[in-house]
A and B are shown apart, each in its own frame.
Chain A
Amino acid sequence: MNKNVRERAQRLREQVRQFCRQEMPEALLDKAHRHQVLDKADYVQWMRLLQAKGWVAGHWPKAYGGQEWSALERFVFEDELARQGCPWIIPFGVKYVGPVIYSFGSEVQKQRFLPGILSTEAFWAQGYSEPGAGSDLAGLRTQAVRDGDHYLVTGQKVWTTYAQWADWLFCLVRTGNEGKPQSGISFLLIDMRSPGVTVKPIHTMDGYVHVNEVWLDNVRVPAENLVGEEGKGWQYAKFLLQNERTAGAIIGQAWHVLDRLKRLAREADASGQRPIEQPLLRQRIGGFELRFMALQEVAYQAVQAMVDGSDNGGEASLIKIRGTELYQDVAQALVEALGPAGIAFDSAALHSATLPPLGPDDSGGILKEHFYNRAATIFGGSSEIQRNIVAKVVLGL
């Protein structure tokens, strides 16, 4: 990659690093470093801190309150935040629906929704998946029937992250049943407080509720909450998907977990032994380092292609597959390297000042992340679907 571009990115990286180290409130920093569960108030505080720097939506156009970051700056920003072990930026507002609204929404929608997204005044959730429509999203069946100046929406969404906190749901619904399944889909914004909306928690193996079922029973949605044109929802969803698969955070997370493994391996245990001296662990970490190097170089190459406009549609898949698979392998090795602390699970330690029953202070959090990220090769387009994309889109198979 072009040396100048890397240097410019390096300066942003430096600023982000300083910010993470010096301007994060103590309590938030501690929770983040122990990978504890953050509640809604923590996220609001975190995203507002970033917004104060103009970073929460740095990739938005200036006209809507962003900084018009290049693909590279955006990459570096997300990469560095994750490397520093910071909480993620909840993407549903700033990364997903915001760009759809400013690209395809009405003037009224822009004025109504964008400020709340930037200020984290409003929480958003993504209502795409359904029980029968996972990988095959176009199979979705939630119906929206026009009734005067409203839609009546009935159906069930599933896996809806943070629906329990959400004020708004951006939702793919079926407004037509003719032609290809993709062509009858529309993009609706649904107020979660509307009568007929029910949220039911789904418990996951990390001992927490991230995801939910969202039941929609004859929910009246004003027609003015339709984004763009009826029947064009699939197009907007595909546009959004390009944002869903941004690469930086995946690389930063892989780096962070590998760094943690190396730090753990260097620490002497009570008998003075350093795990890093064990040949098998040494070789394993070396293997991860090598995969990380390839991942990082491929990511820079992809970002360069995006900057140049020479990307072929396979870049994001490459990074998502390699990044999430590496992350999972390293996380598994890290959990194993924790020894008995890697099988002890005290969910109280994830929610309070309680320390885990054994191991380092962050051992509970490491486990929680390991469990949650077991889904990283499933959500946001599974590894299998990503490989299908490469085969079809890039290789023409």
Chain B
Amino acid sequence: MTTDLDTIAMLRDSLERYSADRYSFLQRAPLLQLPGAFSAQTWQDFAEFGWLSLRLPEELDGLAGDAVAVGALMEVVGSRLLLEPLLACVVVASGLLLKQGSAAQQAELLPALAEGRLKLVLSHGVSHELCRYAEGRLSGSQQAVLHGDIAEQLLVPARDAEGQLRFCLVEASAAGVSRQAFRLVDGRGAANLQFAAAPASLLQPQAGAPSAEQALAEVCDEASVALCAEALGVATSLLRITNDYLKVRQQFGKPLAGNQALQHRMAELYLLTEEIRALTLAAQQAMCLPAAERARTLSGARAYISQAARHIGNEAIQLHGGVGITEELEVSHYFRRLMVNAALFGNRDEQFLRFVELSLADA
């Protein structure tokens, strides 16, 4: 099932218009100062515009958006450096509920997510071993969960007494849950989470649902594709901002853009941005391919994009000179956003290795 192009254009335009109006870089600065860098008002706006119900099926008044539709929003998320947990709530949590929730769980939680009443976050941080679930209780810990600081409920992958992978639903405020909140380098919030026999209920997959392992792999892939689109938004912005700057900044009696050495550097950034665009589309389209093929394209895209985006971030700072490292200019914020994104859902090395394995599988 693919989302039609009009819907996609409408989504992109609406979020872009909203951001141009209310989420300029200057308007964003005070949002960054809020606890968890989260504005309830903005989130409510997102709900009202329908962006939070992007993934929901039509029966639940959603748009049933596919990877391209998600990408249309995520590109704007990247270009405007939106701080809200769109990826965590709309792509990941909603996605997992759709794959693993019972009808009752879906009916209860999905509308709450879509209406912005609930912030549900998959606890997919770093853990050396999975959390454990037994008899309605969850134990274990996870580190550096993005938006774990502002989540009201958590979805935690855990092993049950039989060693099966299950997904636990936990109230973040429940007894037995402790969280240490902190900021990431890009200003978004995160938390280290500790569960000590915290009361938990399980997602109850419906008949015909994929296995828990498969469902988890799928939402991670979906998040990965979304991150490709976000990187595209960052890259196009950095390219434009840097290009504009080189035309106006004068040194040695001419614009910086007059130096051929710098023209070539910009040409390289353009090539990389176009590669990011093409690979993002390839990754989105690969989502309906068989698992192995999908995985190969996706890992390859993310590995290439992480590397390319990092180069663009570094060059954007270098070509701006001193102002590039200041808080006052967007460039350093894009740079830091890329750092965080590169560490989410498989870093460059992990993605590259997976790509190599899948590419050489029949060699």
Contacts and interface: CB of A to CB of B under 8 A. Distances in A.
Contacts of B349: 278, 280-281
Contact of B318 (A280, A357, A377): A377
A378 B321 contact: yes
A335 interface: yes
B143 A340 contact: yes
Contacts of B190: 344
A372 to B, nearest CB: 8
A367 interface: yes
Interface string A200-224: 0011111000010000000000000
Interface string B335-357: 11001101100011100110000
A54 B205 CA distance: 74
A335 B339 contact: yes
A345 B183 contact: yes
Interface in B302-361: 310, 314, 317-318, 321-322, 324-328, 332-333, 335-336, 339-340, 342-343, 347-349, 352-353
Interface string B257-268: 001011000000
B322 A344 contact: no
A346 B183 contact: yes
Given A203-B328, A344-B182, A344-B190, A135 B126 contact: no
Contacts of A374: 314, 317, 324-325, 335
A325 to B, nearest CB: 10
Interface stretch (A16-24, A119-127, A191-199, A379-387): A379-387
A195 to B, nearest CB: 28
A344 B185 contact: yes
A374 B185 CA distance: 15
B261 A135 contact: no
Contacts of B310: 332
Contacts of B129: 271
B123 to A, nearest CB: 13
A28 interface: no
B192 interface: yes
A358 B179 CA distance: 13
A134 B251 contact: yes
B164 interface: no
A3 to B, nearest CB: 40
Interface in B121-164: 125-126, 128-129, 143-144
A17 B262 CA distance: 42
B180 interface: yes
A343 B144 contact: yes
Given A278-B349, A339-B343, A343-B343, 16 more contacts: A136-B253, A139-B252, A205-B335, A211-B322, A269-B128, A336-B342, A336-B343, A340-B143, A340-B144, A340-B343, A343-B185, A343-B339, A343-B340, A344-B182, A344-B183, A378-B324
Interface of B: 125-126, 128-129, 143-144, 180, 182-186, 190, 192, 250-253, 259, 261-262, 310, 314, 317-318, 321-322, 324-328, 332-333, 335-336, 339-340, 342-343, 347-349, 352-353
